[in-house]
Structure 1
Amino acid sequence: MDYPKSVPSVGLVNGKFVNEDAVAGLPGSLIPATWGNSVTDELLNVVKSAGLEPSETDATQLVQALKKISQAGEDKHATDIGAANLYMANYVPAISVLKDGLALRFTAGNANAGASTFAPNGSMPKPLVSLALSALRPAEIVVGSVCSVVYSAALDSWVLVYASGGKGFSGRLLAVKTFTASGNYVPTVGMKNVLVTVVGAGGGSSGIGATNATQVSLTGGGASGSYAQAWLSFDVIGQSQIITVGAGGVAGGVGIGGGSGGTSSLGSLVSATGGGGSPWSTPLTLPGFGLYVGGFPSQTSSGGNLINSSGAAGSPGMCLSGSTLAGHGANSPLGSGGYASSVSLSVAAPGSGYGSGAGGIANTTNQPGRPGAAGATGAVIIYEYA
């Protein structure tokens, strides 16, 4: 669209129309019918493209049409004509220069299977990155996704701000996977980061010996396993990791101390050792005072960039003037230690939940030997985030 410069004798002055000057004897400019019609048709095309019916009496239709077209974003939306991982779209008017902050939309014709690129109007493909500014993971774009992208000159890449139906919502909790037995962890598609909780297994409690008319016997509780939490990215986790879940410390028999809990771990990345079992002690001859230690706590865990904590010691058992009190099993962040069994309760209490120690057991006079109890198993819990 331009002034009718090519029309002879149109009377333009400095390229523009002028009025007639009768005093100076200067004629006014002519407006050719062809030019007038073309200008009118061009304006009407804008009005019609917005779905409006042209009206001679409405002088606001051009403004209405421009607002409607702008709101619809028709000039910034196109259909993907590329392939999986290589997205392409043609916009009208064509995108000829990539400017920092340029925002476009396209409807994806293919799901992405990994790192991807985007190229508007046949330009050089540029990387398509997530809001975390990393290469796209599989299924962040699915078929039919309406994708909003913004060009970053600093990155020389397109940032995927939004993709409907995909798994690219930053920070969204995707899944919680709890391992109570050893196995293999494979990340959920779209996972970017994980919060990992690892607890070692609890220690078992010792058995107690048989007593005669002048003896009592008792034991302390098992220790709890160590504990760790870590925030890890997909780049650190990789495609899979071996999960090891520590077995609870075994119950001690007569003459045998409680077993130590096993170590739990996420590959070589995060590890938590198990708690110690309470040691065996021979019956105490009355009168007398006795203090029977519980299981010793495990070493501090490793790999936890949020928390690294050792386990807690099992409570000691005590005897004073013939009165006995067995030791409680130690609590863990994910479980309660076994209660201390009284003389009337002939069965030791195992640790509950994950990582807690077993409760101790006590005997009064003239009682048979009894076994202890097992510590609680360890656990590895993984919270997956997009």
Structure 2
Amino acid sequence: MAWYATGTVAVTNGSNVVTGTGTQFITNIKSGDIFIALDNGLLYEVDQIVSATQLTLKREYAGVTNASAVYEIVPTTSNLKTLAQQVTDLIAIYQEIPQSATDAQDAAAAAQGYRDTAKTYQDNAAASASTASGAATTAQGYRDTAKTYQDNAAASASAAATSKSGADTAKSGADSAKAAADASAALAGNWAAQASGTVDGANYSAKYYAMQAAASAASIALPVPITSGGTGATTAAAARTALGVPAIASSNTFSASQTISYSQPLFSINDTSGTGVAVLQFNSNGSMVWQLQKTSASDLNVRRYVSGAFVDVPLSVSNSTGVATLAQRPMFGTATPWDSANLPSVSGRLLNIQVFTSSGTYTPTAGTTKVIVKSVGGGGAGGSTAATSAGQSAVGAGGSSAGYAEVLLTAGFSGVTVTVGAGGTPGAAGANSGNAGGTTSFGTIISCPGGSGGAGGNPSAAAAVNPSAGVVAPTISSGTIINALAGQPAPNALVLVPGSVAISGYGGSGPLGVGGQGRQTTGAGIVGAGYGVGGAGATTSASGAAQIGGAGRQGVLIVYEFA
């Protein structure tokens, strides 16, 4: 991953705020990354990203204030970007759930309509039977009328016999009586014929209507079969079974697509116990493949099955915290995001940084295949100054910075002894030189000598120069040398106008720090900032007391570990 170094930054000595110009901190830096100010090489851990142009450091900036400093950000693995959009994308693959309960109710309503139709057919059959009964009653009336006609005919025949008897005794009226009797007999015969036809018609009508009623009743025999528009049953339960409509309280199985059409559809599964497990199950050809499960703790689990056997829970969402847990690393398109499980396979990735501020033994982090070692010795101390009289000044020379090295090692680095050089200590107040800094080494591979101490300052009543001390280069026995620098000599200390204008020598600066600043007024030498830099010399103005020089800064050894 490339180091970020776009734009410039403003840094202030003693402040942990870094303000950028032309930067985009939010999208390129995260907390835990390493901030390096390139003008002094100091390392800081990034604390917070405030905005695209501002961040804060874990500790205050120890270098010189700079409004347009160049810098670099080294990415680390202390914080991985969180994966935040898994839950919504994975849940979206699942189908909407059909409202089977509503469809079952509709089917039950249709079954009730079939029962009502069957009832209508029953009523019609009863009406037909009633009509047949009426026809039979009418036929009986016709038979009664025919009987009356027969009785009347019998009475007429009796009258004719009486008339004939009277004719025998009354000869004079015999012809007329006989004619009347013959006429009455003929009329009686007609009445008898009509009565017989009426009885036959009535019998026929009764038989016809009875046959019709029987046919109607047979055509709507109960229960009305499904093929005739019925339910094939006489009870609701039997009708649901015949029509394939399950009861609402039982498990429902649909053999065709179900459609829920409503402006605001809602499908609700209610666990009335409050602590039970609710499951929405998906089968493929009768074999379970997925379950959407509400656990007894009200968490949501997506459970995977293969050939009907449970395999794992790819996604689990906590109801109490909302935290989603993924069993596998998600795929975005065809790319797998980096995380702690697959980052070790990326060659050249920065694994860790070990910083030695005291001596010890280097033990590589697991997975380390190569290292870059940065080493600097302890800085030299500035010179002290003697007391002065009127019209005199004394200035101490600054201590020089230590030797510095950067080396790439691909082998032979495990278990190496690390020695960190101490900063040089100043001499006692008086015209005494500062002490040199200690050597920092990485086994026998790298050796960075400490900086030289600055010379002490004697009182001077004339313009004078107190020159800086010399420097020594590092020695490197193996590896690839990235950088190797001798310490920086300190600027000369100057007495320009004795007793009034003088400045002590600055401490030498280095890649990992800034040397102490020279003094123009009476006081002890100023200590530098960072690692391996020299302390400034002391200054004593006219009629001033003796002063001590500034101490040199200790060395450091930094190991950058790469996969």
- Range into which the TM-score falls when normalised by the shorter chain: 0.5 to 0.7
Match of 1:331 in 2: 509
Cα distance, 1:164 vs. partner? 4.7
Q: Given the alignment of the two structures, is residue 246 of structure 1 paired with residue 246 of structure 2, yes or no?
A: no
Cα distance, 1:283 vs. partner? 1.5
Distance 1:166 1:334, change over 3 A: closer
Aligned partners of 1:356 and 1:385: how far apart in 2?
A: 28
Aligned partners of 1:181 and 1:326: how far apart in 2?
A: 31
Alignment of 1:308-319 (within 5 A): 308-319=484-495
Match of 2:469 in 1: 295
Cα distance, 1:255 vs. partner? 3.3
Q: Given the alignment of the two structures, is residue 212 of structure 1 paired with residue 401 of structure 2, yes or no?
A: no
Match of 2:119 in 1: none
Distance 1:166 1:343, change over 3 A: closer
CA contact (8 A) 2:395 2:537 kept: yes
**Any idea what SS the aligned residue of 1:306 has?**
strand
What are the superposed Cα offsets for residues 56-106 of structure 1, whole Å, 9 maximum, x if unpaired?
Answer: xxxxxxxxxxxxxxxxxxxxxxxxxxxxxxxxxxxxxxxxxxxxxxxxxxx
Match of 2:200 in 1: none
Identity %: 31
Distance 1:166 1:316, change over 3 A: closer
Match of 2:450 in 1: 274
What are the superposed Cα offsets for residues 133-191 of structure 1, whole Å, 9 maximum, x if unpaired?
Answer: xxxxxxxxxxx999xxxxxxxxxxxxxxxx95573321111101111111111001110
Alignment of 1:1-386 (within 5 A): 164-165=341-342, 167-233=344-410, 235-238=411-414, 240-253=415-428, 254-284=430-460, 286=461, 288-303=462-477, 305-322=481-498, 323-344=501-522, 346-386=523-563
Cα distance, 1:342 vs. partner? 2.2
Distance 1:255 1:326, change over 3 A: closer
What are the superposed Cα offsets for residues 312-357 of structure 1, whole Å, 9 maximum, x if unpaired?
Answer: 101111112322111111110000000112215x232112100111
CA contact (8 A) 2:524 2:539 kept: no
Q: Which amino acid aligns with 2:472?
A: S
Aligned partners of 2:475 and 2:492: how far apart in 1?
A: 24
**Any idea what SS the aligned residue of 1:375 has?**
coil
CA contact (8 A) 2:397 2:456 kept: no
**Any idea what SS the aligned residue of 2:412 has?**
helix
Q: Which amino acid aligns with 1:175?
A: N
**Any idea what SS the aligned residue of 1:376 has?**
coil
What are the superposed Cα offsets for residues 341-374 of structure 1, whole Å, 9 maximum, x if unpaired?
Answer: 2215x23211210011101121111111111111
Cα distance, 1:300 vs. partner? 3.8
CA contact (8 A) 1:200 1:274 kept: yes
**Any idea what SS the aligned residue of 1:360 has?**
coil
Distance 1:188 1:207, change over 3 A: same
TM-score, normalization: structure 2? 0.38
Distance 1:324 1:175, change over 3 A: same
Aligned partners of 1:342 and 1:262: how far apart in 2?
A: 29
**Any idea what SS the aligned residue of 2:561 has?**
strand
**Any idea what SS the aligned residue of 1:305 has?**
strand
**Any idea what SS the aligned residue of 1:167 has?**
helix
Bigger-Rg structure (1/2) = 2
Cα distance, 1:309 vs. partner? 1.1
CA contact (8 A) 1:203 1:295 kept: no
Aligned partners of 2:381 and 2:511: how far apart in 1?
A: 17
**Any idea what SS the aligned residue of 1:228 has?**
strand
CA contact (8 A) 1:205 1:375 kept: yes
Distance 1:166 1:353, change over 3 A: closer
Cα distance, 1:221 vs. partner? 0.9
Unaligned 5+ runs, structure 1:
1-50, 54-143, 147-162
Cα distance, 1:52 vs. partner? 9.6
Cα distance, 1:299 vs. partner? 2.8
**Any idea what SS the aligned residue of 2:344 has?**
coil
CA contact (8 A) 1:252 1:373 kept: no
What are the superposed Cα offsets for residues 194-232 of structure 1, whole Å, 9 maximum, x if unpaired?
Answer: 011001111001110011124211112110011100111
Aligned partners of 2:533 and 2:341: how far apart in 1?
A: 45
**Any idea what SS the aligned residue of 1:177 has?**
strand
Unaligned 5+ runs, structure 2:
1-282, 286-326, 330-339
Cα distance, 1:296 vs. partner? 1.8
Cα distance, 1:248 vs. partner? 0.4
Q: How many residues in Structure 1 have an aligned counterpart in Structure 2? A: 227
Q: Which amino acid aligns with 1:252?
A: G
What are the superposed Cα offsets for residues 242-280 of structure 1, whole Å, 9 maximum, x if unpaired?
Answer: 111100011122232101011111111111111101012
CA contact (8 A) 2:380 2:533 kept: yes
Q: Which amino acid aligns with 1:191?
A: T
Aligned partners of 1:211 and 1:164: how far apart in 2?
A: 69
CA contact (8 A) 1:145 1:164 kept: no
